[in-house]
Amino acid sequence: MGSVLTLPGILPDEIIDGDFLDDETDTNFSYKTEKYVDFFISSWGLRVSHVNWPSCDLVVLVAGQAIRVEVKASRAPSDRQGSRYYCFSTFKNRRRIWDKNLKALVSPPKRYIGLTSEHCDIIALVAWDIQRINFIIPRGVKSDNIPTRQMHHIGLEEISWAECLRKLEIGDLDG
């Protein structure tokens, strides 16, 4: 994509054109969120591929290793117990399966499970209203609530990405 600024609020024309962030007309919010994260990571010079795998939206090549990234989004913060948080659903919906004996679809015992390292390596939490991304390691929880002040942290994207790579024991931003 060439050299781009990685400052919050700076988006490529293909993302800004049309009603990309318009809540009223947005029918492909997940895809658009993935495209935004792809743009941001690509701006660091890393190679990103879109994949259609369960619990994995992007694969990023870092230091010769493939990193699986699941993308989650929140349009705006919510008020919870007197504080403002961005709320992200970080769970995997286990599909119902066909039971041959019952001849019916049945739900697994734990229908919703939190994302773990079995599903993805990194979760990208996107706060759309402020165009910020917080990268985290999956912890097996069904939801993550991030305080608004944390999402406003200067350099959040680079810092959280580097922290994830450190925890995964993989290279750095330079690949």
Mean pLDDT rounded to a whole number for the chain: 76
Query: What's the rounded Cα separation, in Å, for the pair 131 and 100?
Result: 47
pLDDT-based confidence at residue 139 (cuts at 50, 70, 90): confident
Q: What φ, ψ does residue 160 adopt, rounded to 5°?
A: -70, -35
Q: Which domains does the chain have, with CATH numbers?
A: 13-168 (3.40.1350.10)
Q: What is the pLDDT of residues 20-63, one digit of tens each?
A: 455 544 557 888 899 999 999 999 999 999 987 777 889 999 98
Task: Look at residues 67, 5, 69 and name the one whose alpha carbon lies nearest to residue 37.
Answer: 69
Task: Look at residues 1, 57, 69 and name the one whose alpha carbon lies nearest to residue 30.
Answer: 57
Q: What is the pLDDT of residue 29?
A: 80
- Cα separation of the two ends of the chain: 16
Q: What is the pTM of this model?
A: 0.72
Q: What is the pLDDT of residue 163?
A: 94
- Mean pLDDT lowest among 21-25, 27-31, 102-106, 155-159: 21-25
Q: Can you tell me the mean pLDDT for 109-137?
A: 80
Give the H/E segment covering residue 63.
Answer: none
Looking up tokens 């024991």 gives 169
Q: What φ, ψ does residue 13 adopt, rounded to 5°?
A: -55, -40
Q: What is the pLDDT of residue 94?
A: 54
What is the per-residue DSSP string for 102-153?
Answer: TTEEE--SS-EEE--TTT-SEEEEEETTTTEEEEE---S-SEEEEEHHHHT-
Q: What is the pLDDT of residues 76-100, one digit of tens each?
A: 888 877 888 888 877 665 555 566 6
23 vs 168, more confident: 168
Query: What's the rounded Cα separation, in Å, for the pair 33 and 29?
Result: 6
